[in-house]
Amino acid sequence: MNMSETDEVSEEILNAANAAFSNLIPEKSKKFYELTYRKFMKWRERKQCRSFNEDVFGAYFGELAKDKKPSTLWAQYSMLRAMLVNKNNIDISKYLNLRAFLKRKS
């Protein structure tokens, strides 16, 4: 009998996976990653946005680009990408227009 991804997983396995995946963020700079993530989530809340689609990130980074250097934008993108994969299972590296926007700003 094959198990699919949607089959239930024991709480023990989920806890072990969460413990393993929580170490994906560098310990030394974890507070910066978390701060970047919180700022983005608060921005989403202020904008009354529930989505994580590419347009949302375009608007967010468009606002950041008004007063941030390109190197800062890339750092924010990198930290946010890691946190979103870790906490929300969302991979923004697939958002090609967002990456093109960041490259154009560089």
How many other CB atoms are found less than 10 A from the CB of residue 2? 4
At residue 7, the pLDDT reads 59
Q: Which domain holds residue 79?
A: 28-105
Does residue 79 form part of some domain?
yes
CA distance 28 to 26: 6
More reliable by pLDDT, 5 or 70: 70
Does residue 34 form part of some domain?
yes
Which residues make Cβ contacts (< 8 Å) with residue 44, sequence separation at least 6? 50, 56, 60
Does residue 82 form part of some domain?
yes
- Amino acid at position 85, single letter: V
Total domain count, the chain:
1
Q: What is the pLDDT of residues 51-61, one digit of tens each?
A: 999 999 999 99
Q: What is the pLDDT of residues 75-94, one digit of tens each?
A: 999 999 999 998 898 999 99
Nearest-10 Cα torsion for 91, 106, 72, 37: -20
Please state the pTM of the whole predicted model.
0.79
Does residue 49 form part of some domain?
yes
Does residue 48 form part of some domain?
yes
Does residue 1 form part of some domain?
no
